[in-house]
Chains A and B, each alone.
Chain A
Amino acid sequence: MGREVSESCLDILLIEIVSSYTNGFFAGRPELVAQAVEAVGYQVGNQLCERYTMERPQFSDHLEAIKFICTDFWTNIFKKQIDTLRTDHKGTFVLRDNRFRWLSRASHPDSSATIPSALRNFAESRKMHLYFPCGIIRGALSNLAIPCAVTADGSALPSCSFTIIIRRDEVSNRRDGL
């Protein structure tokens, strides 16, 4: 499967998805934009997961599935693995990518004027762009029967961390089942 994707096209597409939702369909309603962008990511993650797990043995637990996201899945999308993975063993995982590719070209607030409103705008738009990768992770995991919530923190560019919280009821169900 030697298909290639133009990285700049993907960057531009992502920017355009976010901007057309923000300025067009849901202008002035950031919560709906977030939902819509996340939903697009969700479907992408769902379908990618189907493909990338093809040649793999079954996952025995959550940690193994998360590890798969950190290594193989991330490598397939970003050509690198997640740099650090931390967990509290209670269903929360923090994945940190020290050089997150999709934000590598985002403008850095330090380099521009320190006007508060400009800073806020940078943070806002960065947050919008991160809903897409969040959706990808959530889509992939939910396709592996792990319902979860994913949030991202991109405040320390160029690194970016994703927090995955696996839903409680699912965790307890699993334990009861065993």
Chain B
Amino acid sequence: MSVCVAVVGHQNNPLYIQSFTDADDALKLHHIVHCSLDVIDERVNNPKKSGPLLNETFLGLLYPADNYKVYGYLTNTKVKFILVTTDLDVRDASVRNFFRRFHSAYVDAVSNPFHVPGKKITSKTFAGRVSSIVNSFGSSTATE
């Protein structure tokens, strides 16, 4: 299973992107992340279509695709989290759980006084936490 996570700032500037994959598809995953930014913009700017989802941080499945799933999450501070996974039968609940843990890791990372807001997150601790969250996400979906 391949997973890619990305943090994108409020001006659509990349803050963090990391793929966890065995195959040689890192570039493709990055491409998917890039594409999904438009979908998030559309959802946020056209509240009618998304309706009840508007006020929620979890944006759900962004668009259907054959061999991967893309989920989005928008914080109150307009920072986007994007998760691309090739695992096709993931549950919404486990994705929500993933984003919740990811969000708290992110908050801890940007609360570092040496982090410059709006710049890339270079913290090794953050990278470590992300990979452990991704691992537990992978194993939770594998056992279901």
**Do residues A43 and B113 form an inter-chain contact, with CB atoms below 8 A?**
yes
**Do residues A49 and B77 form an inter-chain contact, with CB atoms below 8 A?**
yes
Q: Using Cβ atoms and an 8 Å threshold, which residues of chain A touch B111?
A: 47, 50-51
* Tally of A interface residues using CB under 8 Å: 16
Residue among A50, A144, A145 making CB contact with B107, cutoff 8 Å: A50
**Do residues A58 and B113 form an inter-chain contact, with CB atoms below 8 A?**
no
For residue A56, which residue of chain B has the nearest CB?
Answer: B76
CA distance A143 to B54 in the complex (A): 19
Q: Shortest CB–CB separation between residue B78 and chain A, in angstroms?
A: 6
* Tally of B interface residues using CB under 8 Å: 17
Interface residues in A92-130 by Cβ distance below 8 A to B read none
A144 with B117: in contact, given A47-B110, A57-B57, A58-B54 (CB under 8 Å)? no
Q: Using Cβ atoms and an 8 Å threshold, which residues of chain A touch B10?
A: 145
Per DSSP, chain B at the interface is: loop
* A163 contacts chain B at the CB level, 8 A cutoff: no
* B104 contacts chain A at the CB level, 8 A cutoff: yes
CA distance A95 to B107 in the complex (A): 27
Q: Shortest CB–CB separation between residue A112 and chain B, in angstroms?
A: 37
CA distance A60 to B32 in the complex (A): 29
* A53 contacts chain B at the CB level, 8 A cutoff: yes
Q: Using Cβ atoms and an 8 Å threshold, which residues of chain A touch B120?
A: none
Q: Using Cβ atoms and an 8 Å threshold, which residues of chain A touch B104?
A: 54
* B103 contacts chain A at the CB level, 8 A cutoff: yes
Residue among B56, B74, B107 making CB contact with A51, cutoff 8 Å: B107
| Interface residues, chain A, with chain B CB atoms under 8 Å away | 43, 46-47, 49-51, 53-54, 56-60, 143-145
